[in-house]
Amino acid sequence: MTDTVTGVAPARTSGRRVADLLIEYNFIAIFLVVVAIAAILSPNFLTSTNIANLFQQAAVVGVVAVGMTFVILTGNIDLSVGSVVALCGMLVAVLLAGGMPIVPALAITILTGALAGAVIGLITALAEVPSFIVSLAGLVSFRGITYLLTDGVPVSGLPPSFGAISSTMVPVLPGLQVSSMGIIFVVLCIAAGALLRLTVFGESVYATGGNAEAARLSGLPTTRILVLVFTVSGVMSALAGILLTSRLRIGQPTAAQGLELDAIAAVVLGGTSLFGGRGGVLGTFFAVMLLQVLRNIFNLLGLGSFYQMTVTGLIIVAAILLNRFIDIRRGRA
């Protein structure tokens, strides 16, 4: 054997291990730093009311971002999610206002979201067109259908029990209650993480995003996988739409405009590669919370949304540069 042994990793010291973990999960470190700064800047930040607020406010974009993570892991993008949130939010309002019981109304809405995602996935996979443009068409058309539902008029008069879906307070720790909306967000994160990490479907998502041709030649049903990730994204958008309408107590056809960009920003900030194959839901969760903390701290300090927008953009750029730097250091450039 003249084969070199360059491939064998040297035994790692524990210090090296900690450094590796810090690099791998840098988004958690950044999140903790921002939380610490927030706690120092405002005494109101670490109060239980404020923490509950954080989860409630992060839930809609968070749920969408979890679905978006699946799509981006395959190297695709779904720009239609904001419009699907609005469409499903309106649809559930129309159905409930028309007197339909909650369970079938939710089922129809979730199915509609799934269908919207599946259509985008099917066109992308079968016609081999970039998902960017297919989902951009979806963004426009789904918003159009949303307006068509009621001719652009908001829908009110929803049953009070529907509001309970988002606003029931659940005690999680002594002295800390979080609204059901926040709980649903966290539960969906855990479910999505389990789907990605523990199932063959999850493995296939990573494999397809990592190298689609190698995946195909390994016998993976790559078309089906693409359709499924967009379906997941559609279902998550439908759930987010339901949560949004439940919280607002009104179906608002103009809701969730630009939400797709917030979701994409969160996914990328959480370390998921836009080229696919790398990343995960854990990063998305922390990135969503990080962006929410930023918004929150600016509010607590009484700084307007102009500052918020400027700084949020800067933080995203800084995080992307950091990840790029880590990639280069690891020789993956």
In the complex, the residues that contact another protein under the rule CB under 8 A are 1-9, 198-204, 206-207, 210-211, 213-221, 277-278, 332
The CA distance from 211 to 186, in Å, is 30
Min separation Cβ 42 and another protein, Å: 41
The CA distance from 117 to 84, in Å, is 9
The 3-state DSSP class for residue 273 equals: coil
Min separation Cβ 290 and another protein, Å: 25
The CA distance from 153 to 147, in Å, is 8
The 3-state DSSP class for residue 20 equals: helix
Closer CB to another protein, residue 208 or residue 312? 208
Min separation Cβ 16 and another protein, Å: 13
Min separation Cβ 325 and another protein, Å: 17
Min separation Cβ 209 and another protein, Å: 9
Closer CB to another protein, residue 54 or residue 229? 229
Closer CB to another protein, residue 1 or residue 103? 1
Closer CB to another protein, residue 115 or residue 195? 195
Min separation Cβ 6 and another protein, Å: 6
Min separation Cβ 202 and another protein, Å: 7
Q: DSSP secondary structure string, 110-175?
A: HHHHHHHHHHHHHHHHHHT--HHHHHHHHHHHHHHHHHHHHTT--B----HHHHHHHH-EEEEETT
Using a 10 angstrom Cβ sphere, with 0-12 exposed, 13-18 middle and 19 or more buried, the burial of residue 250 is middle
CA atoms within a 13 Å half-sphere pointing along the CA-CB vector of 99: 0
Closer CB to another protein, residue 8 or residue 103? 8
The CA distance from 260 to 324, in Å, is 23
Centre a 10 Å sphere on the Cβ of residue 130 and count the other Cβ atoms it contains.
Answer: 11
| Phi, psi values for residue 178, rounded to 5° | -120, 140
Min separation Cβ 198 and another protein, Å: 6
106 contacts 96 by C-beta, under 8 angstroms: no
CA atoms within a 13 Å half-sphere pointing along the CA-CB vector of 111: 6
Closer CB to another protein, residue 26 or residue 308? 26
Tokens representing 85?
């949130």
Closer CB to another protein, residue 163 or residue 203? 203
Closer CB to another protein, residue 182 or residue 193? 193
